[in-house]
Amino acid sequence: MNPDKNPKRRYTLPRRIAKGLAMLQKTKLLLITLLLSACSTNTVHLKLDAITAPDYSVNNQSYLLLSGDPKVNRDDLYFKEFSRYAQQALTEAGLHSTSPGESAQQKIYFSFGINSGITESHTYSTPVYEYTGGENITIKEKTIQDGAIATTTTELYAPYRYRLVGRELRSSETTTYKSYIRLEGRSNDEHAKQLWMITVEASSSSNDLRVLIPLMLSKAQPFIGKNSGKIIEIKTSQSDPAIEQFIDRTKQ
């Protein structure tokens, strides 16, 4: 069949293709958006600061773990759960907890917390693309020939084009939570001398301390009882294999 004699077919087939391409493009953009959102949600930014007394050495010292927050006692269920991770980090750093009846060489105060979150609004624009064309355009012209009016009809086909037709304003809100852990070692005597301290602050979109505490402690472990010399910034994620391995070692 001559396609020039069947304009309906020329019109319908490109439209179906265009609709399919448009749907494919929208799906692609959706997948990219979801991927970027997942990456953003999973990312955790840490700031770690560790300091020690000049004459301090871990040297397999024994410790007694206590709450560093007056509002949280050792019988608190969350404190008990988080303490297991803290004890694992301390053990891997070369310290050991006291046995019943044994006097510890130092007392270690463990505290943690999180704020209510800070919400920010963002406005941005995204390009809007559309398929245009795909139609037969009929042009009729009237001319005077030999004293009579003659009508000339011309048919043109406008092919499909994918082009920018404008921009769309969008807005979104992101909430960032600040959480922290602090471990502080002091001599177990009347002087209660400060021996070492480490603080880790986390910024993320999560407010789940049961996820964030083991994450922060796993990254703090190499610096316990050491001097970082400055604030160290660490970018990690909740799916970091090293964190999962640390959690598994704690549960053994």
Phi-psi category of residue 146: left, alpha or beta, with phi > 0 → left and psi -120 to 50 → alpha: left
| Most distant CA atoms of the chain, gap in Å | 123
CA distance 202 to 179: 5
- Domains along the chain? 3-37+125-171 (no CATH), 44-120+174-251 (3.30.160)
Q: What is the pLDDT of residues 177-201, one digit of tens each?
A: 999 999 999 999 999 999 999 999 9
pLDDT at position 101 is 72
Residues in the chain: 252
> Given the structure tokens 């949280």, which residue do they identify?
72
> Given the structure tokens 């990312």, which residue do they identify?
43
Q: What's the pLDDT band for 17 if we cut at 50, 70, 90?
A: low
DSSP label at 98?
P
Per-residue DSSP letters for 171-200?
EEEEEEEEEEEEEEEEESSTT--EEEEEEE
Q: What is the pLDDT of residues 230-248, one digit of tens each?
A: 999 999 999 999 999 999 9
User: Whole-model pTM?
Assistant: 0.70
- Please give the structure tokens belonging to residue 23: 């749907």
